[in-house]
Every structure is written in structure tokens, then in C-alpha cells.
Amino acid sequence: MRLTDVITAFGGQAGPKSILAGEVHAIWNFLTLRYLYRELTEIFKNYIEDTEFGTLVQGSIHMTLDKQIKKTEEILKFYEIILPPSPPKGINSAVNSEALRDEMMFRLLLVGIQYFLETHAETLRMMSNDSFRNLFMGWMNDEMKIFDDLVKYGKVKGWYWGAPTYQH
């Protein structure tokens, strides 16, 4: 990718680079959370027994995280911001752990997605740059779809804990 492509992708023009401090903080924090979540899902994939759940984690969750990580790293590099330490590329575990049940991993991933939806809204509040806002709104839509898929899958498996029915 050429520098002019990066500039064009973010709605800028060739010349001095400028980014608000709040935007730097929000983008850097966003990347650290994605790194953490990517590492967690990489660990989980070693223990997931349910094939469909494994496909959901390997498919939409990993693809979304990888896409967001790559683009966020490009943004930070363009503005010459030091990247946070990245997670290992792959984590293989030979130990079989019965403590990591599919249902528990599902709930942790669901809580993570719920938190990410909140951080997207927080990040958007700090964005003055139109292109950044559009990018993060698109990613928020991607994550709302993953959240929806996780809730639907969790209901089918009996793993999703909805509030009890109110009766009076």
C-alpha cells in the first residue's frame, strides 16, 4: 500500500499529518482491546469442542478482529504512533482442560462483544475526523451482527441467559 493510498483512505490530503490526542488515545486503546480479545479467542479455539461454536469463533470473530487490527495498525503507523505489544500469532496448547467449557467460553465472548459495543460508542464520541467516525461506525455494525449471531446461537444451545419472565 502506498502512502497516498493511506491518505486517501482516511480522507486526508498529502501534507502535514494531524490527529487529535483524543483520537490517538481512542484508536490506541481500541487496538489494545482487539489484541487482548484476539489472544483470548486464539486460546479458546484450542478447547472448543462444539464444532459450530468453533466455526463461529474461527470465522466471523477472528476475521472481524483481524480486519480491525490490520486497519488500526495502519492508521497508527501512518501517524507514527508506537503500537502496543501485539499478541502471539498462534497459541497451541497440548493440555486438555475441562475447566474451559464451551458454554463458559461462549459467555466470556458474548460479554466481550457487549463491552466492545460500548467502547465503539465511546470511541465515536472522541472522533472529530469524518473518516475515522465512518470506519468505527462500520466496525460497530460488524460487531452488532456478531453479537446478534452469538445471542441467536446461545439461545439454540441453551447457553444464553436471558432475564426470567416477569409474572405477577
In angstroms, the CA 147 to CA 88 distance is 25
Residue percentage of the chain with pLDDT more than 90: 62
Note the pLDDT tens digit of each residue in 2-14.
Answer: 655 665 666 554 4
Q: In CATH, which of 1.10.3720.10, 3.30.1330.10, 3.40.50.740, 1.20.1260.10 is domain 3-8+19-90+99-157?
A: 1.20.1260.10
In angstroms, the CA 122 to CA 120 distance is 5
pTM of the model: 0.82
Domain boundaries, the chain: 3-8+19-90+99-157
Asked whether the beta carbons of 57 and 45 are under 8 A apart, the reply is yes
Q: HEC profile for 63-118?
A: HHHHHHHHHHHHHHHHCCCCCCCCCCCCCCCCCCCCCCCHHHHHHHHHHHHHHHHH
Note the pLDDT tens digit of each residue in 105-135.
Answer: 999 999 999 998 998 888 988 899 999 999 9
Note the pLDDT tens digit of each residue in 131-164.
Answer: 999 999 999 999 999 999 999 999 999 999 888 8
In angstroms, the CA 139 to CA 134 distance is 9
Q: What is the pLDDT of residue 100?
A: 84
Asked whether the beta carbons of 42 and 87 are under 8 A apart, the reply is yes
